[in-house]
Amino acid sequence: MDTNAKLYEDLDRILITRDQIQEAIRKMGKRITEDYAGKEPVLIGILRGAVVFFADLVREIDLPLTMEFMAISSYGSSTKSSGVVRIIKDLDRDISGKDVLVVEDIVDSGLTLSHLKQVLATRKAASVSIVTLLDKPARRKVPLEVEYSCFNIPDAFVVGYGLDYDEKYRNLPDIGVLHPRIYTQED
Ligand code: 5GP
């Protein structure tokens, strides 16, 4: 998609370009391939935001991995976290004894993933690590170890490359800061 395309008019600025994203994912894929050598990790993609990242990441990992998906409640149409974490779609297969990599689009307060890590631990996975495309460390509300992060970003609401606002902008190839005029009508 051309950066002059209509959807880009709602951005304040582009934060991370598609080329920077692809470069970071190549490096991340290589790192995971090395770290999990000899293993068959299960990659769990968190719907829907992580789907674009997940699809690119798995193709950079040279291992006999398997894929699973989970859906967890997050922001809805607001830009503020409710703190409510709910599993909407659960795993289809047993993960006991497996090395699990949870693939997320962004870690913000950390509430979602800290809860999910606890849930997965009760299912007796051999290991559970987090891979995120974006991390906003300044926003953390609970301590959370993030093993793999492609980019640390400042405290701004971003969209694109899978990340939405009110279910839109997920198809932007770059990551941008949404212009505040788009959401200032909200309470
Ligand atoms: P946490 O539980 O860490 O606060 O929130 C994680 C979830 O919040 C992400 O999966 C994502 O859905 C949402 N989120 C947090 N920050 C942003 C952001 O800047 N942009 C978008 N589109 N979603 C965000």
- pLDDT tens digit string along 55-87? 999 999 999 999 999 998 754 445 555 555 788
Per-residue pLDDT, 152: 98
Distance (Å) from CA 63 to ligand 1 centroid: 29
- 138 neighbors 110 (Cβ within 8 angstroms): no
Ligand 1, CB cutoff 6 Å, lining residues: 49, 74-75, 81, 104-112, 157-159, 163-165
- 28 neighbors 148 (Cβ within 8 angstroms): yes
Per-residue pLDDT, 84: 58
Quick one: which of 109, 150, 126 has its CA closest to 27? 150
Distance (Å) from CA 167 to ligand 1 centroid: 12
Per-residue pLDDT, 4: 86
Task: Using the structure block, give the residue that is written with the tokens 């598609």.
Answer: 18
Distance (Å) from CA 107 to ligand 1 centroid: 6
Residues annotated as part of the active site: 108
Quick one: which of 83, 78, 73 has its CA closest to 49? 73
Please give the radius of gyration of the chain, using alpha carbons only, rounded to the nearest integer: 16
Q: Take atom 5 of ligand 1 and give the residue whose Cα is closest.
A: 108
| Residues in the chain with pLDDT values less than 70 | 74-84, 185-187
* Cα dihedral across residues 145, 150, 154, 156: positive or negative: negative
Per-residue pLDDT, 77: 46
Query: What pTM value is reported for the model?
Result: 0.93
